[in-house]
Structures are given as C-alpha cells and as structure tokens.
Amino acid sequence: MPQLLVADLGTMPYEEALALQRAVAKARISGAIDEDVLLLVEHPPVITLGRSSKRQHLLASPTLLAARGVELFEVERGGDVTFHGPGQLVGYPIVDLKRHRKDLHWHLRQVEEALIRALAPFGIAAERSAGQTGVWTEGRKLASIGVHVRDWVTWHGFALNVTTDLSYFELMVPCGIAEVEMTSVAREVERQTSSAPVIGLGERARSLVVEGFADVFVLDASPIQPATLEHLAFA
C-alpha cells in the first residue's frame, strides 16, 4: 500500500514550517519524495491571510497584534484570514492528487472527512456546513481548511482547535464569516461532561487525525523524522 509519511514537527515558527512545506511540495512534484506527506505542527501565535482575504476582516491593529505577540503573514493558500497558535493541531497534507483524483474539491472533502472521523471518538458530532469549507459541530466551527495546489500537488491544509485559546479569534472575522462561533475539542468535551477534558487531549487528537487521513486517502501511515524529511526536501 502507498505510504503517508507523517512528520511531527512539534512547535515550530510559522515561517520555518512554511519554508519546509514548500520544499516538500517541490520535492513531491519533482519525484524526489515519492510518497504523500502529512506535516503536523503547533505554531506560536500567528495570523495568516489567504488569497481571498479582505483587509477589513483583520480587526486588530499592528500595535495590538504586537502586544499579543501575534505574527502576520500573507500566503498563497485559498481562503480568508485565520489564526494558528498553541493548543491547535495544524496539518499540512502534501498530496499528489494524480495518484488519487485530480479534483481539488474532492481533496477538500477528504480533508474534512478525515477530521470528522478523528473527532467521532471524542463524542463530537462533527459535520460539514453547506457552501463553507471546514469542520463544524452544531453550528460552531472546530477546524479551518485552506489549501494551495500546483501540478496537482497540494500544500497548506487544516487547523483543528484542540485546547486553543479562542480569544485570539476576536482579532479577526475568522475565515471571513461574520458572527461565526469558534469552538475547540476541549470546549466540546466540556459541554458533554461538565468537567475538564482528560490529560493528553492533544496527543490523542494527533493520533486520531493520522488514522483519519490514512483511512480516507487509503494510505499506510508511516512516521518519518523531521531531519530525514528535511534532507529529502532540501537535497
């Protein structure tokens, strides 16, 4: 079975992870990396502006962003403004759609499905929202998705709020959706149990997300050390 190489980058600045995923995507396009890749990472606080971003959707001034310790980047992914930060599981699937289906909309639905499956063991009834990309539960948004594709190879990806400080989303109109209510795995678990989530929520979420991606893309998940991946990508 084809593999899904899974690299857990730990906590990494956004700019550094962006350079890595671009290099991996380039190597995937050239064939220097011959398997699909999933980068998992947690970023220090950062706001990113996608190709469809409207400046009025960023509500915070540069001074306020600096005071909150939030970086700002404009990137090539689709979508509007979003936040990455501690307690959030960010995933960058670098997938050659020529080996799956040359259909970007199909890819987006597969990413959503992987997350929906990953959330089910938490008792969270995750779902899609008609006409909107991402993963939701009862009208609250759990995960944002925005991708880029070149030569049918994807990069950028998803941000799943696990134990994220949701107050950061007050700095923007998340994904350009007015009055959207952002939520997290931790908050949804608390709604169910009226008690604090169990320790290890982040580790469990990572494991379940990997399983979800392997299942929906019909790949065999295989860990790869970041140093090994970097060697392949930058060779």
Q: What is the pLDDT of residue 84?
A: 97
Cα–Cα dist 25/155, whole Å: 7
Cα–Cα dist 120/192, whole Å: 13
205 band by pLDDT with thresholds 50, 70 and 90: very high
List % helix, strand, coil for the chain (3-state, nearest 5). Answer: 40, 30, 30
Is 175 a residue of the active site?
Answer: yes
pTM of the model: 0.95
Is-contact 6 69, C-beta < 8 A? no
Our count of domains for the chain comes to 1
Cα–Cα dist 88/84, whole Å: 7
Domain containing 129: what range? Answer: 3-234
Cα–Cα dist 126/129, whole Å: 10
pLDDT digits (tens, 9 = 90+) for 77-114: 988 899 999 999 999 999 999 999 999 999 999 999 99
CATH of the domain at 220: 3.30.930.10
Q: Which of 175, 180, 216, 229 is catalytic?
A: 175
